Amino acid sequence: MLDSLASTLNGFLWAPALVYLALGVGIFLSIGMKFPQFRLIKDMVHQLVRGGSSENGVSSFQGFAMALGGRVGTGNIAGVASAIGTGGPGAVFWMWIIALVSAGSAFSESALAQVYKRKVLNQYRGGPAYYIEKGLKAKPLAIIFACATILAMTITGPTVQANAISTAFKGLNLNINPLVVGIVIFVLFLLVTIGGLKRIGSFASYVVPIMAIVYIVLAIIILVANAKQIGPMFALIFRSAFNQEALFGGIFGQCVMMGVKRGIYSNEAGWGSGAHAAATAEVSHPAKQGLAQAFSVYVDTLMVCTATALMILSTGCYNVLALDGKSFIVENLPGVEAGPGYVQRAIDTLIPGFGAPFITIAIFFFAFTTLLSFAVYADANIQYIMNAVSDKAKKYAYFIGVIIIATLSLFASMKDMTTAWNYADVGVGIMCWLNLPVLALMAPKSFRLLKDYEYQKHLGLDPVFIPEDIGFDNCELWDEIVEEKYSDLKAAKKAAESKTGVTEAEAIK
């Protein structure tokens, strides 16, 4: 019954209207900020290595790594294969488009999360629920979003990640019981999360960059080995994306839908999850972490997802289902379900027998770091709901949350892939429907934040966020942060402005 309900809700939430909403909000924000995802790429990279951690927050890079760990998950392997398997090669193009557009949404939600963050147990916490309450002044909606996120991060989201790990181990043909895989995930997850936010951030900062680089390098090697297929492969992607390939003409709607749907699930921009990790970082200006998080969307989709797609397509290791869900338009791998198996077979074309163990390891780390990020995201919303309770109760709430995620991951390892995706899509869909309209409504604040950042850069300053200078309220924590940690930057800003004789309010109109 629950499986049927998840499937029904999935169809309702992921109607074409959500695709239009995600694209529309992303384009609106990008135009309003003059496409920072293209103009400020140098700043994006620069912010990753600037600044360190503090007693209250992780470093900008650790915040980036936690969010990237959340973005780079099973969606980058199983999700991409699923998009190709039901939408055809053209779905890859629409994944690229949603990434380019969604980077604007990622900047907005991450910067706003920084603006309205709080101290909880002496560490920074924030996310959509926080900026909906303090920035939009809509507390009932904030509570609804927090509850939806707790549902998505503790119940529906972990199903796909744990299931993908279990499915990958099946590909090794070692007859490993899925229950054993689930127990291993359970134990390792608790070992890392029991150390709290700092340990999760440290773990992600070491593991995430390594796993992404190794995966991309392997993809490059496979592309070089199949160099003759590169031109025809890209031609097929573009023809299919614009309904110019007769073979896939009957599934063009699926092509666009699956590309956008799996792109959103993979890069997470717009549904507010990455904003929780962004809020934990120690930075002098919210736009800094906004830019870092926008770059994480590029790494996720334009690099890691693309690596998966190109391995699959250049080797021809994929099937494409017809609309009836039973017959095939393309069946290059009889009996192989859309998922990690496509990538395993692609790698085996280069190094026979290497595909299964490599993808098993890759999926384990991709999915496991996503589960760790889920712990951060769930905790931010649990703490939001429990804002008025004692610190002792908040600590217990964190541990209860991670135990729930670990337990459900154990059970999800024994579910089938279709059911797991249905559960996950429900959680993501709810978050998107709530967060995307909020980003549109709060767009003027996002525009002002970026203008403030660029104004200070123009003056040759290291930007610092002083809320009253650009008309922000309900940002009391930032008064404390600036006075304690960035008083020198504030003094430099005031001195620079006195020389120009122009107030910032006048300069950034």
Q: Which CATH number fits domain 13-459: 1.20.1740, 3.40.50, 1.20.50, 1.25.40?
A: 1.20.1740
Please state which of the ranges 11-15, 69-73, 375-379, 435-439 shows the lowest mean pLDDT.
69-73
**CB-based contact 171:341 (threshold 8 Å):** yes
- State how far the alpha carbon of 124 is from the alpha carbons of 91, 114, 254, 497, in Å: 38, 9, 41, 30
| pLDDT value for 421 | 66
Distance CA 496, CA 502 (A): 10
pLDDT tens digits along 409-465: 888 777 665 666 676 778 778 888 999 999 999 999 999 999 999 999 999 999 999
pLDDT tens digits along 479-494: 999 999 999 999 999 9
Computed over every residue of the chain, the mean pLDDT equals 86
Average pLDDT of span 36-63: 77
Task: Characterize 140-171 residue by residue with b for buried, 16 or more Cβ atoms within 10 angstroms of its Cβ, and e for exposed.
Answer: ebbbebbebbbbbbbbbbbbbbbbbbbbbbbb
Q: What residues pair up with 91 in beta bridges, in sequence order? A: none
**CB-based contact 270:446 (threshold 8 Å):** no
- ∠ CA 111-96-281, nearest 5°, is 25
Average pLDDT of span 395-402: 86
**Which of the four pLDDT bands, split at 50, 70 and 90, describes residue 78?**
confident
- ∠ CA 37-42-48, nearest 5°, is 95
Average pLDDT of span 13-19: 80
Residue (of 409, 383, 377, 385) closest to 396 by Cα position: 383
Concatenated DSSP letters of 415-464 = S-HHHHHHHHHHHHHHHHHHHHHHHHHTHHHHHHHHHHHHHHHHTT----
| Domain limits, the chain | 13-459
Please state which of the ranges 174-183, 383-392, 498-507 shows the lowest mean pLDDT.
498-507
